[in-house]
Chains A and B, each alone.
Chain A
Amino acid sequence: MFRWVVARDLKLAWRRRADVLSTLFFFVIVVSLFPLGIGPEMQLLRSIAPGVVWVAALLASMLSLGRVFENDYHDGTLEQMLLTPQPLYLVVLGKIVAQWLVSELPLVLMAPLLGIQFGLARNTLSILFVSLLIGTPVLSLIGSVGAALTLGLRGGGVLIALLILPLYIPVLIFGAGAVDASVIGASPLANIYLLGAALVLSLVFAPWATSAALRISLE
C-alpha cells in the first residue's frame, strides 16, 4: 500500500519533471545570489552561509508543498485514496516520503556544492549536509499538515506560508545552529540531536494530523 503510493507519486513526478526542477533551480539561484551580491568577503560569507542555505531550503520547500495534495484533490484521486481499506496514515506518509524524495532530497544533495561558494570548510560542508538530511523531512512532515488544511482554498499558497513558517522556526534555529557551531569550531552535536528529536516527533504526529485535516477538507 505504502509502496504503491510512493511509486505512484514518483512516477507522476517523473512525468512532470519541470515542476520538480523549478524547486531545485529556485534553491540554487537564491543561495547563489548572496555571494554575488555581497562580494568576496570570505569572513562575512562564512558567517551568513548557514542561515542563507537554511532559509533558502525553507522557502523552496514552501514552493513544492502546495502540490502535495492539490492535484490529487482536483482530479478526484484523493477521495479515492481516502476510501481505500488501509489506514489513511500510511497513504499520507507515502505521499510525504515521495514529496521529500522528489523535492527535498535534490536540495540536500546540492547544498554542499553551494556551500563551496561561501568558502565553508570541508567538515562544515558535511555538517550542512547532515543537518539538511535530518531537517528537511521535518519540513515535509510539518508542511503536509498545512497543505492538507488549506486544500481547495483560494489563496491557499499565502495561507500555507502563514500557517507553516512559524512552525519551521525551530527547525531553522537548530539546523542553522548546527552549521554555525561547526563554522566557529564548536561541536554541532547538540543541535543535530535536537533536529533528530524534531524528526521523530513530527514523524509520529504529522501524518496523523494531516489525515485528520484531509478528512475535514474533503467534506
Chain B
Amino acid sequence: MLEAVNLGCARGERRLFSNLNFSVTPGTLLQLVGPNGSGKTSLLRMLCGLLAPEEGEIRWRGENIRSLGEEYFSDLTYIGHRNGLKEELSSLENLTISAGLAGRGASHNEARNILGKMGLEGRENLPARLLSEGQRRRSALARLLSWSTSLWLLDEVLTSLDEAAVVLMKSLIEDHLSSGGMAIVATHQELNLSSGKFERLELATGIPGGAAPLGWAS
C-alpha cells in the first residue's frame, strides 16, 4: 500500500498543494486530474522518489520511501514525460538495456515478444529516432511489461497514442490491477476501466502563497 501523509509541494515561489492525504491499495487505479501546472507531474515525481517532499512523507508498506531507498525502486516503474529512450539505439536495445539496468536482464526473444505485443513488430531494430512519437511512446511503455513491479506511476501516458494503443494500454492497466498491482496515472482523458477499483484525485490550481483548495472524489 502506498500512503501520502500531509504532502506539500512548492515549486519556486508557488505553492502547488499542501496537506495532501491519500492512499492506494492493491488493485486500485488512482487517476490524477487537474489543470496544467497544478502539480500532477511534481506529485508523481515525489511519489517515485525523484523529488523530495517539501512537507509530509510518503510511505510504502508502512515505511517512509526515503529510508527504503533502492528497495522501493525495485517495486515501481515510472514513465514520465520524457520517454527515456536513447535515439541511437533500437527499441530492442533500449528495452534489453533498461531491463539490464533494472537488474532483470531480458533475453532478446522475450524483449521481441513484448515489443510485438506493444505493436512494434518489424520495427524492433529501427533506431528510436526513426520512430514516430506514438511508436516511441509504445516502445517506452514496453518497459511496463518487461519486468513486473507492483506500482506503476505513469505521467500523461496516453498522449500521442492512437486509439488501438489507448485500448491496449487500458487492458494492460486492467490486467495489472487484477493481479493486485497499483497504478497512479496522470491523464486528462477518461480511463473508463471495466474492472478494478478506481479513484480520482483532483489537484486544483495552486494559489500563490496560500494553500491550494483540494477536491477529493471517488
Shortest Cβ distance from residue A211 to the other chain B in the assembled complex, whole angstroms: 12
Q: Does B97 contact A (CB under 8 A)?
A: yes
Q: Closest A residue to B51 by CB, please name it.
A: A219
State which of A82-90, A112-120, A153-161, A191-199 sits at the interface with chain B: A82-90
State which of B23-31, B72-80, B179-187 sits at the interface with chain A: B72-80
Cα A87 to Cα B73 in complex, Å, equals: 10
> B102 to A84, Cβ gap below 8 A?
yes
Q: Does A218 contact B (CB under 8 A)?
A: yes
Residues of B within 8 A of A1 (CB): 100-101, 103
> B89 to A11, Cβ gap below 8 A?
yes
Cα A1 to Cα B80 in complex, Å, equals: 22
Q: Closest A residue to B99 by CB, please name it.
A: A4
> B89 to A83, Cβ gap below 8 A?
no
Q: Closest A residue to B83 by CB, please name it.
A: A76
Q: Does B70 contact A (CB under 8 A)?
A: yes
Q: Assuming A1-B101, A11-B89, A84-B102, is B50 touching A218 (CB within 8 A)?
A: yes
Residues of A within 8 A of B133 (CB): none
- A 162-184 to B, binary, CB cutoff 8 A, 1 in contact else 0: 00000000000000000000000
Residues of B within 8 A of A8 (CB): 86, 97, 100-101
Q: Does B117 contact A (CB under 8 A)?
A: no
Q: Closest A residue to B81 by CB, please name it.
A: A76
Cα A91 to Cα B100 in complex, Å, equals: 12
Secondary structure of the B side of the interface?
loop
> B83 to A75, Cβ gap below 8 A?
yes
- B 80-111 to A, binary, CB cutoff 8 A, 1 in contact else 0: 11111111110001000110111100000000
> B85 to A84, Cβ gap below 8 A?
no
Cα A79 to Cα B88 in complex, Å, equals: 18
> A85 to B103, Cβ gap below 8 A?
yes
Shortest Cβ distance from residue B94 to the other chain A in the assembled complex, whole angstroms: 9
Contact-residue size bin, chain B (C-beta under 8 Å from the other chain):
20 to 34
Q: Does A18 contact B (CB under 8 A)?
A: no
Residues of A within 8 A of B89 (CB): 11-12, 15
Q: Does B126 contact A (CB under 8 A)?
A: no
Residues of A within 8 A of B101 (CB): 1, 4-5, 8, 80-81, 84, 86, 91
Q: Assuming A12-B88, A12-B89, A85-B73, is B80 touching A79 (CB within 8 A)?
A: yes
Residues of A within 8 A of B78 (CB): 79-80, 83
Residues of B within 8 A of A11 (CB): 89, 93
Q: Does A77 contact B (CB under 8 A)?
A: yes
- B 46-88 to A, binary, CB cutoff 8 A, 1 in contact else 0: 0011111000000000000000001101101010111111111
> A85 to B71, Cβ gap below 8 A?
yes
Residues of A within 8 A of B84 (CB): 75-77, 79-80
> B88 to A83, Cβ gap below 8 A?
no
Cα A204 to Cα B49 in complex, Å, equals: 25
- Identify which of A1, A16, A219 gathers the most chain B CB atoms within 10 Å of its CB: A219
> A87 to B50, Cβ gap below 8 A?
no
Residues of B within 8 A of A4 (CB): 97, 100-101
List 16 extra interface pairs beyond A4-B100, A81-B101, CB under 8 A: A4-B101, A12-B86, A12-B88, A16-B88, A75-B87, A76-B85, A79-B50, A79-B80, A80-B101, A83-B50, A83-B76, A84-B101, A85-B74, A85-B102, A86-B70, A219-B50
The 8 sampled A-B contact pairs (Cβ below 8 Å) are A11-B89, A16-B88, A77-B86, A79-B82, A83-B50, A83-B73, A84-B103, A218-B50
